[in-house]
Copies of this chain bind each other. A is one copy, B any other.
Amino acid sequence: MDKTIASAAEAVSAIPDGATVMIGGFGGSGAPIELIHALIDHGAKDLTVVNNNAGNGHVGLAALIEQKRVRKLICSFPRSADPRVFTEAYLAGEIELELVPQGTLAERIRAGGAGIPAFYTATSYGTELAEGKHTEEFDGKHYVRERWLKADFALIKAELADPHGNLTYRMAARNFNPVMAMAATHTIVQATRVVELGGIDPEHVITPGIFVSKVVEVPNAAQEEELNRAEAVYP
């Protein structure tokens, strides 16, 4: 079994119009820029995207939105240093937004990966983000019931990968990547380096290969922050 494939283009080629796609990253850290750009080239549209943010500048997720491929965004914080692309699309009514508190977003994704259709959290109780949701009292405190979140595809940025899909991450670039890897039917990974089987210490594996479908090596992955400082625009 070898999950490695040759190119980012091949990695995303099976993503159809209308798919739900989780994209790892918190701002630029951990964002799989090359996979997102390959998805733009691939052309899939009407996507529902799950990400913590809504893109920055004109690369990565912002570029995907600018190319009008995203029908709906599920995120916690659609602001950034340069949020113009999302802001304009949102205010023009061209993109739907589901705003989810960040911890609830992370837990809904983990629940999707862990087979938990619903759970209770105190987060958002009594706020407008809990409107219409089932609430319940446990041990004298009020909680909101939240549903799992799953995806057809997840685009993940890892540091090391082996041919079975075992992954490590780099620093705070870990963020949403491991939980999104669990919650998608097809998890596509760009790794800075693909090592041989056994090249990752079993104690240091963060995402076990069972959650991974495809791995493509992207040795010199772009950082969104640096692209934006260089005022890059994709495509």
Asked if A199 CB lies within 8 Å of chain B CBs, one says no
User: Is the beta-carbon distance between B120 and A117 smaller than 8 angstroms?
Assistant: yes
Asked if A116 CB lies within 8 Å of chain B CBs, one says yes
Given the known interface contacts A204-B203, A204-B204, the answer about A121 and B115 at a Cβ–Cβ threshold of 8 Å is yes
Encode A114-153 as 1/0 by CB contact (under 8 A) with B: 1111111110000000000000101101010001000000
User: Is the beta-carbon distance between A138 and B118 smaller than 8 angstroms?
Assistant: yes
User: Is the beta-carbon distance between A115 and B119 smaller than 8 angstroms?
Assistant: no
Instruction: Give which listed residue, B118, B169, B203, contacts A119 with CB less than 8 A.
Output: B118
Query: In the complex, what residues of B have CB within 8 A of residue A147's CB?
Result: 138
User: Is the beta-carbon distance between B119 and A111 smaller than 8 angstroms?
Assistant: yes
Instruction: Give which listed residue, B117, B120, B202, contacts A139 with CB less than 8 A.
Output: B117
Asked if A56 CB lies within 8 Å of chain B CBs, one says no
In the assembly, what is the distance between CA of A111 and CA of B114, in Å? 12
User: Is the beta-carbon distance between A203 and B168 smaller than 8 angstroms?
Assistant: yes
Asked if A107 CB lies within 8 Å of chain B CBs, one says yes
Name the distance in Å between A159's Cβ and chain B's nearest Cβ: 9
In the assembly, what is the distance between CA of A147 and CA of B136, in Å? 13
From A118, A120, A136, name the one whose CB has the most chain B CB atoms within 10 angstroms: A120
Name the distance in Å between A207's Cβ and chain B's nearest Cβ: 13
